Chains A and B, each alone.
Chain A
Amino acid sequence: MLFGIKQKSCFDYLLKSKEWYIFKHMISEEEIRKIAKLSYLEIKDEEIDEIREKFSSILEYVKKLQELDVSDITETANLSKNENVFRGDIAKEKDVEDLLKALSRKKDNYMQVKKILYNED
């Protein structure tokens, strides 16, 4: 399996040549839980360690950007021309039936949802 070894070494070099494979800072469980809440995701207790580890390794890697001095640089948030594109405010016929079919719950052609107002417990 000479081939497999060679291929592996290609990546190993990239991985180990950088300092980021050592976790300098492990993100806390509390922080992970806070982000999960903001993201509307639930995390099981048994998943937390793996998530912390993988999350930390990526954060450690992206810290690489701190090496650069960007104090005078403007941001590129998108690449489109900085012009607004307008179109006429003209109603178009759409197949409402198809959209309704995709709804999880409906009543008289309205989307029905669960309780929106409640006390946070």
Chain B
Amino acid sequence: MKIDLTKLTIIEASKGLKNGDFTSVELTKAFLNKIKEKNEEVKAFITITEEMALKQAEKADKMIKIGEIYPLTGIPCAIKDNILIKNIKCTAGSKFLEDYIATYNATVIEKLEKMGVVFLGKTNLDEFAMGSSCENSAFFPTKNPRDLERVPGGSSGGSAAAVAADLCVYALGSDTGGSIRQPASFCGITGLKPTYGTVSRYGLIAYASSLDQIGPLTKNVDDAKIVFDAIKGSDPMDSTSINSDKENNLAKLKIGVPKEYFAKGLDGEVEKAIKEAIDIYKELGAEIIEISLPMSEYALACYYIIAPAEASANLARFDGLRYGKTIKDEEAEKIIDIYLKNRTEGFGKEVKKRIMLGTYTLSSGYYDAYYKRALKVRTLIRQDFEKAFEKVDAIIGPTSPCLPFKIGEKSDDPMSMYLADIYTVSVNLAGLPAISIPCGKSQSGLPIGMHLIGVPFQEEKLLSIASLFEKKYDNK
């Protein structure tokens, strides 16, 4: 029987390419065919870059022939549509950028291109990465490949769905409050949010700059490590970017379980799966320590002041003059008409709400009560984690308090939607690395994700801890 090329992990695909079992062009065509067949149903992609992909595959095959092989050479991937690829449309899921063609490559794209990676296309997201379900995309909602009536999570829902439906080997996403980990959890795949600063954001359309981070969505932990290694590193084009550590000592492994994470409100089936995962770590010889993160309950409120405040500043650049949505000449008399009309017509409801919320909390009279106070609470949240990491190597919990919900179920109720990120936002506020990996299924077969939070800049160790579980869990 012929193997299904679209099911391969990065490691398997790379081995096949090296051995000459198949070429990158064959691998790429297998994915393009699968996308043609399944994207209509899943709606993971906004743009499919067939022509570019085939050219890149040909180039990769040449590289392989002369022995210039990196771990990602010739491997087809998908890119969230808020990361710029030169000469390719980049919409950020917004009408504002419906026809915008990127004029340069993001640093992560530049790095991958040098290794001979194949880009299959750009994936759907909540508009400007603001959302937890992919329903806020201005174009169409993406569906969860594990159950088409449900959301894939968000905002990197298109990337997660593409990986889960075998429409690419891996994908890149961005994570501001859980946007890589929560969709990874909902789609039953692996998603890594690296430490703030370890991956350059140059060429990522900014949402909240003190929180945004690019990271991989993959089929397993080993693949996540390969992609992270390929995209990490300091970059002169992003002044916040720095190099990560090599620390990776798993002797006397201690894992912390925050008591606040298992309060009422957590779905029973999710809770059960996480407790079973904790037992697996026990079996593996890890010491399980109960810890306390008393500030957890303030994280979401803190996030919903800081993220919109930064968004209101970042999205001020969308004026419709230099790029993006442009109204007709006769509709405007003064420059302010151009701003008003472009922004009003170009942005969706959720984006407008967050811009206004941020404008409000930053405005005179409210700045101290909201924004400044949130920055102080952010310090307390950081200190919570710093204290915890004096005792443990990693913190375990659920990625999301609930199972993937139905499309439309929460779209009218913003607060209930925001709650889906209750476990993930604190990690961004503290700048920590964290990973979501599958750890079980509900009775109805929906994926459940486990969230492991690590020490800043110790991604290697975090990935090793995740891998320990994954190997044991896969063999069960």
Contact = CB atoms under 8 A, between A and B. Distances in A.
Interface of A: 3-4, 6-8, 10-11, 13-15, 17, 21, 31-32, 35-36, 38-42, 51, 54-55, 57-59, 61-68, 70, 73-81, 84-85, 87, 95, 98-99, 101-105, 111, 113-116, 118
B321 A113 contact: yes
Given A39-B356, A58-B357, A114 B267 contact: no
B347 A80 contact: no
Nearest to B339: A40
Given A75-B372, A115-B335, A41 B301 contact: no
Interface of B: 87, 100-101, 103, 196-197, 209-210, 236, 239-240, 242, 264-269, 297-298, 300-302, 304-305, 312, 316, 319-323, 326, 329, 332-341, 343-344, 347, 352-353, 355-357, 359-360, 363, 369-370, 372-380, 382, 401-403, 405-406, 409-410, 414-416, 419, 422, 430-431, 442-444
Contact of B373 (A51, A70, A87): A70
A31 B379 CA distance: 30
A102 B339 CA distance: 16
A103 B321 contact: yes
A119 to B, nearest CB: 10
Given A3-B444, A14-B401, A55-B356, A104 B321 contact: yes
A111 B326 CA distance: 13
Contact of A114 (B335, B347, B402): B335
A17 B103 contact: no
A10 B357 CA distance: 27
A111 B403 contact: no
Contact of A62 (B304, B431, B444): B304
B415 A75 contact: no
Contacts of A13: 264-265
A104 to B, nearest CB: 4
A10 B398 CA distance: 14
Contact of A41 (B239, B329, B356, B406): B356
A68 B333 CA distance: 49
B377 A99 contact: no
B87 to A, nearest CB: 8
A83 B438 CA distance: 39
A75 B301 contact: no
25 contacts: A3-B403, A3-B442, A4-B406, A11-B265, A14-B265, A14-B401, A35-B363, A39-B356, A41-B340, A51-B353, A54-B353, A55-B357, A57-B415, A62-B301, A62-B304, A65-B298, A76-B378, A77-B210, A80-B197, A102-B101, A102-B322, A102-B323, A105-B326, A114-B333, A116-B334
